[in-house]
């Protein structure tokens, strides 16, 4: 199926310099959207506009969204992907480390969405997709309490946005990947053995799902958390 609904649309992808975010940005670009990509350092992705954005800083978010609008026009598609992954035993997790995970993964999503949504509401159209995690459903493996808690919040935030903005032509959904073959999981034990399909997921597979949720074909899907985990949560 050829995905429609991207021609003439502007998109902003946070945390898009590498990994899943980069793959999503490239997919939206290839489908015809004008794509701005925000990250701590200006991303360099051919055919996309790189923007420096610290999602934990309110002023940086405000300026970054302004720059994105200037580059791509209206932001019709928003992908909230910026995140960090920290492995620490619970009792060794400092308050600083906990707060950093919450700030980047959850508060960052809130700040960017709050800056973008008013214009979407006025336009009567928008697609918002948040990148959560299976850890936000299960609590995650040992030593990822902050990450799991923050991603649970991200997925709840996606539902809250869906409820409030559905009357304005805006959909909001989350995807919940499990272990994806990116730098974030390098050095971890062989987790593929825990996945029924027998391998790690690929960033392109997550990007395909996100692109569908951003497309014209997903207009009746909102408030959903869509698992993409190779059967990891099968009971």
Active site residues: 147
Count CB neighbours of 91 within 10 A. 6
Distance from C-alpha of 172 to C-alpha of 26, rounded to nearest angstrom: 21
The two counts, helices (H) then strands (E), for the chain are 7, 7
Distance from C-alpha of 78 to C-alpha of 33, rounded to nearest angstrom: 12
| Torsions phi, psi for 214 (to 5 deg) | -90, -5
CB neighbour class for 22 (10 Å; exposed up to 12, middle 13-18, buried from 19) = buried
């Amino acid at each position: 199926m050829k995905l429609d609904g991207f021609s003439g649309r502007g998109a902003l992808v946070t945390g898009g310099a590498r990994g899943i975010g980069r793959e999503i940005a490239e997919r939206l670009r290839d489908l015809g959207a004008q794509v701005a990509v925000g990250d701590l350092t200006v991303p360099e992705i051919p055919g996309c506009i790189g923007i420096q954005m610290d999602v934990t800083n309110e002023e940086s978010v405000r300026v970054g969204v302004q720059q994105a609008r200037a580059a791509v026009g209206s932001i019709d598609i928003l992908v909230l992907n910026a995140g960090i992954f920290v492995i620490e035993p619970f009792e060794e997790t400092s308050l600083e480390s906990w707060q950093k995970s919450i700030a980047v993964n959850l508060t960052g999503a809130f700040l960017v969405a709050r800056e973008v949504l008013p214009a979407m509401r006025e336009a009567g159209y928008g697609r918002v997709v948040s990148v959560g995690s299976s850890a936000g459903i299960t609590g995650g493996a040992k030593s990822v309490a902050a990450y799991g808690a923050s991603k649970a919040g991200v997925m709840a935030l996606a539902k809250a946005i869906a409820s409030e903005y559905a009357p304005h032509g805006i959909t909001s959904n989350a995807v919940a990947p499990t272990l994806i073959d990116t730098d974030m999981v390098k050095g971890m034990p062989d987790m593929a053995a825990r996945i029924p399909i027998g391998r790690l997921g690929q960033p392109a597979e997550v990007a395909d799902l996100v692109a569908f949720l951003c497309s014209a074909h997903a207009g009746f899907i909102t408030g959903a958390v869509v698992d993409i985990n190779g059967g990891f949560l099968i009971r």
